[in-house]
Chains A and B, each alone.
Chain A
């Protein structure tokens, strides 16, 4: 392996250095991100956890070029977020499913494919594949309102998976779902991640979810929004659901909880 190749494999997928973002609001400036430094490597599953308003969504939106930082630098796949967005480097799952009511489930998944200019037969094949993936085959011709909230959220994940993006950014995708469905989707997401080797950025409020899914857990705290701790997971990549009862899992969960508490103590 040459030095250049070695460098390439080691180059982080997302690299933020001294990132700051201040919103100017009527009540004065809101410091949503302050001095954020983070590197995410290829194949990482990184969760962002922290109290409401700590800038998790904002950070994810900066990566997606939906928000411009006011200071500092960030690269995605080695280029600016804007260039990365234009090469369709990532799929983004919003907190709400946001399916178009006038399109069927299949039509919704097809939408980004149409926009990106995939051929008709390629579209058909991909829609079928991702519907299988999220276990919604047979619902292709249904309209969103004919599906439950959890099924809609699965469809919206399928939509982000339908095109070939190496990066998946997810903002509390399972926040509104019940525990059982959530467990199930967590498992599916892990399998998908293992199979595709995508790099995933995942916002959540749930400690068990963060620990179960992630290779790294980024703990954030508000006012100003910042990273207070980054916890490397020692769990194996292969994770059955009952790994959540092992001492190792509980140990990591404990550390995350401590990290969240420390952030809060700072607040008071």
Chain B
């Protein structure tokens, strides 16, 4: 922990330096343009100060994004339409629902594939094919079709999350459930274990490390799915809606703060899974 502190800090500092520099480069044109119209000459320091403080910069400076996030999380009421916490909550709920659905579907398919020859031969190609279709093409269709049958709100977005998140779970769990070696399976046979005993006492515990690795990917994918699901609906709430509204009105600071919020959310969710993984595997004696 101690040892990695300095390198990590160095990288973060480098990123900020680069970010501020890019903000100057990208926003300078607008600042010069404005100055020309007003008929004033900008000194270099004035130019820099202006590029870091524009209303609708091409690239907002970090402190602008930080201020916006502070304003929209801490200073706004959670119930307010302008609260980022409110929007994050909307996205979070469909992310979590989609993640749970995707995990259940993924594990179910994996069990089918491992235990059923016909499924083994037939399902996997479709699972892979499903992921080759761009989600942006499918998302509006899912929303429209579900709306037509009267389902709207959380569920359509969660289904898009599920669509993205079941895939890593299937792949990981098939590998995990197949990870016991021949000898362990033979051993079960000598004890005349039933198929369900073999599953619960051997295959499932063996698959745990694979499951957790998949869940981390699935969680991140699920969040992407939820945000993508908010885009085509013209949704009024959610991080995706904030991104969309921001880009309509050229509110780059709003876009960036929503992006940063989404990244932070993903990091937290993945970290929580990592924690559960640590505790579980430790209790299983595998870590």
Contacts and interface: CB of A to CB of B under 8 A. Distances in A.
A115 B201 contact: yes
Interface in B140-198: 183-184, 186-193, 197
A88 B191 contact: yes
B167 to A, nearest CB: 27
Contacts of B189: 65-66, 85
B218 to A, nearest CB: 22
Number of chain B interface residues as a range: 10 to 19
Contacts of A115: 188, 191-193, 197, 201
Interface string B263-287: 0000000000000000000001110
B190 A90 contact: yes
Number of chain A interface residues as a range: 20 to 34
B285 A143 contact: yes
A164 interface: no
A20 to B, nearest CB: 21
Contact of A64 (B183, B190, B193): B190
Nearest to B285: A143
A98 interface: yes
B285 A101 contact: yes
Contact of A98 (B183, B205, B286): B183
Given A94-B186, A96-B183, A85 B192 contact: yes
Contacts of A85: 189-190, 192
A202 interface: no
Nearest to B283: A102
Contacts of A112: 191
B193 to A, nearest CB: 5
Contact of B191 (A96, A116, A145): A116
A216 to B, nearest CB: 23
Nearest to A61: B186
A77 interface: no
Interface centre among A64, A86, A90, A115, by most chain B C-beta atoms within 10 angstroms, is: A115
A144 B285 CA distance: 9
11 contacts: A66-B190, A92-B187, A94-B186, A98-B184, A101-B286, A111-B191, A114-B201, A115-B192, A115-B193, A115-B197, A145-B285
Ranked 9 nearest A-B pairs via Cβ: A143-B285, A102-B284, A92-B190, A112-B191, A115-B193, A115-B191, A102-B205, A86-B192, A115-B197
